Amino acid sequence: MKNFFKCNLIIEKNLHLEIFIYCYFIINFFYYNLISVIFIKGTNLINIKNTIKNSLLNPIKHFKLKYLPLLMVYFAYGASGISGVAETFWVKEELHLSAAALISLGVWLSIPWTIKMVFGQLVDSVPILGSQRRVYVYIGAGFIAAGTVLLIGLAGNHDWAKFSSKDNVYIIASFLTVIGFVLQDVVADTMSTEVVDRNQPQEKVEEELAYVQILGRLAISLAGVMVAGLSGWLAQVLPYETVFEIALIIPLISIIGVTVVKLDIAKPSPINCKILCGGLLFAVFVVLMGYAEYQDWHNKILKIFFKHSQDIIFVVSLAIISYMLSIVLKEIDEVKRKFIIKTAIVIFIYRAMPSVGPGLQWWEIDVLHFDKAFFGTLAQIGAVLSILGMWLFSDFIAKKPAHYTLLWLTIITTILFLPIIGLYYGIPQALGLSPRTVAIIDTAVESPFAQLSMIPLLTLIAIYAPEGKRATWFALMASLMNLALTAGGILTKYLNEIFVVSREVVENGKVIVPQDYSNLGVLMIIVTVLNVTVPTVTIYYLMIRKSSRIN
């Protein structure tokens, strides 16, 4: 142990060597423990080998050609960040949009995602040229390509892109791209419920649906990791116009699957005016509230009202989406309906838990002196190991109930956050461990569990998606779970208003806001307690207690 700490002190200044050494220690620890288990329980050697083999091969074994169309759509969405860095720098250098204008644009660009149920209704009920899937993927690709072509025209200063100001053309391009991605996402989500043969034992159906969702998340994550470093390199060495031209490969990737693989023909269902019209009215409401929040209101009542517009939007959104879901759920039998509602509540609560907020990163930068390169290293480690986690735990997730998966995720993620709290109180430092070492190991251990919580939800949605209304159903449930994240953001905001954490803000050589991290420790402890107790109590009360009584 003394040599371990001594080694840590020697290599502390060499980040890449440090990562290598600690990965070496971790691998050796598991290797020698595994060898010990094998020698002690030699009869289990074959079982261990089979378990490892199955964990590695299961996602591959469960892949089928008919999954390709939806996986290519997901992959294209994950790879869409290939031009992200170039776009960020180009906007900063070429456009005149203020911070307020960009925030306002963000509100507008969130609208298509907010009204996914409208797109779901179209995909469910309005065939185009006899197709309810392939044509919509093509249309989505057309929107994405049109938005990208406009960016090419702007970056290349072409005359055909000067039909309005650069700012306006950029807004149009952004809106076209978002609509394209939302439309394709709705179609891919719908196909994920249709590609599995329902004429087989229910247990087999549920397992296959779970693997479809796992493969979908893997496609998005793999694409994201592949372009993460590439996007920065392209922006560094190539003109912006060329980078945007390369980005045209994204809509092309998205249509490959639906072009080469024959899709099953879905039966259209009648348009539900309550959902379609309600979704459009809901979009208008969100736009008006989002716009009003950034206006300078002289009336005190209106000023107070719109100050809490985010909270109001959340409450109204939750009521509307819950009502729309109740319409769709009417056609499901009572036992299944109650199970879906309970499971949805559990997942909603799990995703609605608050985080510490930006204060934690501020403290890591100011006090622990983590730099950009180190944060980038942590992000890359997290992204790669997140994929590894989904891959290795795929069989476990596919065969366990959603509440079971969420329960052990709650416990594990809570335990893994404790070292970060320990850093604040200097415990690892007292043991001779550097903060960077703790951060690397904690990220390496925690990351495999990062993306797992969504898979049980997506599987549940796919299992109970009613025929003819699968696009609408998936869109509504996705909107509900996005609302859970909004709830978590609101809770985080209020906790940060109670336990104030501030970084130093200097303006014209004067300190406007002093640095104060004195509340950070208490804030982290409260967030940790909430994150472990509330989901655990909810899971026990809704899912475990009743089943225990029945047994």
Judge whether 79 and 251 are in contact, CB under 8 Å: no
- CA dihedral of residues 364, 14, 230, 444 (deg, nearest 10): -60
- Residue 104's pLDDT is 61
The 10 Å CB-count burial string (b at 16+, else e) for 468-486 is bbbbbbbbbbbbbbbbbeb
Q: What is the 3-state secondary structure (H, E, C) of 214-231?
A: HHHHHHHHHHHHHHHHHH
513: β partners: 505
Residue-wise DSSP of 349-373? HHHT-----THHHHHHHHTS---HH
* Distance separating alpha carbons of residues 497 and 550, to the nearest angstrom: 44
Q: How far, in Å, CA of 226 to CA of 223, rounded?
A: 5
Rounded Cα distance, 328 and 347, in Å: 19
151-169 CB burial, b ≥16 within 10 A, e <16: bbbbbeeeeebeeeebbeb
* Ordered mean pLDDT values, 10 residues apiece, the chain (551 residues): 38 44 42 42 52 66 82 89 82 72 67 81 82 88 95 90 86 92 89 80 80 85 80 84 92 87 69 82 79 72 74 86 85 82 87 84 83 69 73 70 80 85 87 81 63 73 76 82 82 87 75 83 93 92 66 45
Which two tokens mark 450?
A: 């990062």
pLDDT of res. 251: 93
Q: Decide if 401 contacts 448 (C-beta within 8 A).
A: no
pLDDT the model gives residue 528: 93
Joined together, the tokens standing for residue 68 give 């390709």
- Helix (H) and strand (E) counts in the chain: 26, 2
Which two structure tokens, joined as six digits, stand for 436?
């960077």
Q: How far apart are CA 530 and CA 350, in angstroms?
A: 10
Direct distance between the N- and C-terminal alpha carbons of the chain, in angstroms, rounded to an integer: 48
- Which amino acid is it at 330? K
Q: What are 131's strand-pairing partners?
A: 128
